[in-house]
Chain A
Amino acid sequence: MSGDPLLPPIFSDWFDRRGWRPRAHQLDLLRIAGSGRSALLVAPTGAGKTLAGFLPSLVALAGRPKGAKAGGLHTLYVSPLKALAVDIARNLDAPIAEIGLPVRVETRTGDTPAHKRTRQIDRPPDILLTTPEQLSLLIAHREAAALFAELRCVVLDELHALVTSKRGDLLSLALARLHRLSPGLTAIGLSATVREPDELRKYLVPQKAPDAPSLADLVVVQGGAKPDLRMLEIDRRLPLAGHTAYQSMPAIYDLIRAHRTVLVFVNTRLQAEYTFQELWRLNDDVLPIALHHGSLDAQQRRRVEAAMAAGQLRAIVCTATLDLGIDWGDVDLVVNIGAPKGASRIMQRIGRANHRMDEPSKAYLVPANRFEILECRAALDAVEEAAQDTPDARIGAPDVLAQHVLGMACADAFDPVALYDEVTAAAPYVGLTWEEFEQVVDYVATGGYALRAYERFAKILRGPDGLWRVRDARTAQQYRMNVGTIIEATTVKVRLARSLRGKPGTVLPKTGRVLGEIEEDFAETLTVGDTFLFAGEVLRFEGLAEDEALVTKAGPGTDPAIPSYAGAKFPLSTFLAARVRALIADPFEWDRLPKQVSDYLLQQRRRSLLPGPRDLLVETFPRGGRHYLTAFPFEGRLAHQTLGMLLTRRLERARLRPLGFAANDYGIAIWTNRDLSERIGFEPRFLEDLFAEDMLGDDLEAWLDESAMMKRTFRQCAVIAGLIERRFPGQKKTGRQVTISTDLVYDVLRKHQPDHLLLRAARQDAATGLLDVRRLGMMLRRIQGRIIHKALDRVSPLSVSVMLEIGRERVYGEGADEILAEAEAQLLEEALA
Chain B
Amino acid sequence: MALGQRLEKIVRPSGLTLAGESLTFDLCGGLWLEAHRTLVVSDLHLEKGSAYAARSGQFLPPYDTRETLACLHEAVARFDPARVVALGDSFHDARGPDRMEPGDRAMIAALQEGRDWVWIAGNHDAAVNEGVGGRYAETLTLGGLTLRHEPTPGVADGEIAGHLHPCGKVAMRGRAVRRRCFVTDGHRLVMPAFGAYAGGLNVRDRAFEPLFPNGFTAHLLGDGRVFAIGRTMLARD
Contacts and interface: CB of A to CB of B under 8 A. Distances in A.
Given A525-B176, A740-B52, A748 B64 contact: yes
Interface stretch (B138-146, B152-160, B229-237): B229-237
A823 B61 contact: no
Listed residue (A735, A821, A824) with the most chain B CB atoms within 10 angstroms of its CB: A824
B139 to A, nearest CB: 23
Interface string B53-68: 1100111111110110
A506 interface: no
B224 A527 contact: no
Nearest to A750: B61
A68 interface: no
Interface string A739-760: 1110011011101110010000
A739 B199 CA distance: 7
A449 B10 contact: no
Interface string A446-488: 1101010110010100000000000000110010000000000
A702 interface: no
B199 A740 contact: yes
Contacts of B53: 447, 453-454, 457
* Number of chain B interface residues as a range: 35 or more
Contacts of A526: 171
B61 A449 contact: yes
Contacts of B99: 453
B78 interface: no
Contacts of A814: 175
Contacts of B57: 457, 459, 474-475, 478
Interface residues of A, number: 56
Nearest to B64: A748
Contacts of B61: 447, 449, 745, 748-749, 752-753, 756
A823 B233 contact: yes
Interface in B55-91: 57-64, 66-67
Contacts of B179: 816, 820
Given A453-B101, A725-B58, A820 B222 contact: yes
A216 interface: no
B230 A736 contact: no
B67 A752 contact: yes
Interface stretch (B111-119, B162-170, B183-191): B162-170
A478 B60 CA distance: 15
Contacts of A826: 229-230, 232-233
B228 A824 contact: yes
A267 B64 CA distance: 42
Contact of A824 (B11, B165, B197): B11
Nearest to B61: A749
Contacts of B164: 737
A547 to B, nearest CB: 10
Contact of B50 (A454, A474, A753, A810): A454
Listed residue (A447, A453, A749) with the most chain B CB atoms within 10 angstroms of its CB: A453
Nearest to A565: B174
A822 B220 CA distance: 13
B200 A817 contact: no
Interface in A786-833: 810, 814-817, 819-828, 830-832
A544 B172 contact: no
Interface stretch (B1-9, B17-25, B28-36, B125-133): B1-9
Given A454-B53, A457-B54, A827 B229 contact: yes
Given A810-B173, A816-B179, A748 B233 contact: no
Contact of B177 (A453, A725, A736, A820): A820
B227 A824 contact: yes
B101 A451 contact: yes
Interface string A437-453: 00000000011010101
B170 A819 contact: yes
Nearest to A472: B57
A454 B59 contact: yes
A742 B79 CA distance: 31
A563 B174 CA distance: 9
A819 B229 CA distance: 11
Contacts of A815: 223
Interface string A585-627: 0000000000000000000000000000000000000000000
A654 interface: no
Nearest to B67: A748
Given A736-B201, A749-B63, A823-B172, 15 more contacts: A449-B59, A453-B99, A544-B237, A562-B174, A737-B199, A744-B197, A744-B199, A747-B196, A752-B66, A820-B220, A823-B170, A826-B229, A826-B230, A826-B232, A828-B7
6 contacts: A525-B176, A735-B199, A740-B197, A744-B196, A752-B63, A814-B175
Q: Which 7 A-B pairs have the closest CB atoms?
A: A447-B59, A453-B62, A752-B63, A827-B230, A820-B227, A749-B61, A823-B233
Interface of A: 446-447, 449, 451, 453-454, 457, 459, 474-475, 478, 524-527, 543-544, 562-563, 723-725, 735-741, 744-745, 747-749, 751-753, 756, 810, 814-817, 819-828, 830-832
